Amino acid sequence: MVIFVCPAAISVSAGIGFSSVKQRDFFFAPTVISGRNTSVFALKDRSSARPLPLVLVNTRLCDFNDNLGLHFSTGVGVDLKTGQTGTEIDYVVGLSLLVRNQFFVTLGGNITRVPELIGGFQIGQEVPAGISEPPLQKNLRGGVAFTFTYRIK
């Protein structure tokens, strides 16, 4: 009798990743213009290598040997922002290297929503009367993600 044991074609992993998509926080910066106190639109760039907790679904493409395999991976992460822009979902898709049948190292694309100043306003422009917070719109941006995850199923 011959018994073949094949690893599961699909697995789930969880861990941490790093995204290249720059997150930004807009705010009002106090300043003095022509001798009077006022505010201008300002921008604070957050780290471009921000940590990203995530879960990936991994599909086996091929095994190189018992300790190394290639997988297609896709999943979601949560950008735990502390600024005014709130928490966003990040989408990740890429190729993963499965090491020792437990650890995934993934390089792939990353898409998330980032805020942008709207209404024709510019950074450094004086804030008009009646505006209590920067007018923002969230748009999709793409970047690169590098992740380390552990096989959980």
pLDDT tens profile 84-125: 445 778 899 999 999 988 999 999 999 988 888 888 888 888
The token duo for 85 is: 């822009």
Quote the CA–CA distance of 36 and 30 in Å, as a whole number: 11
Residue 25 has pLDDT above 90, yes or no: no
Q: Of 97, 19, 32, whose CA–CA distance to 62 is shortest?
A: 97
Intra-chain end-to-end CA distance of the chain, in Å: 29
Quote the CA–CA distance of 93 and 111 in Å, as a whole number: 9
Task: Give the phi and the psi of residue 20 in degrees, each rounded to 5.
Answer: -90, -5
| Residue 76 banded pLDDT, cuts 50, 70, 90 | very high
pLDDT, mean over the chain: 83
Whole-prediction pTM: 0.73
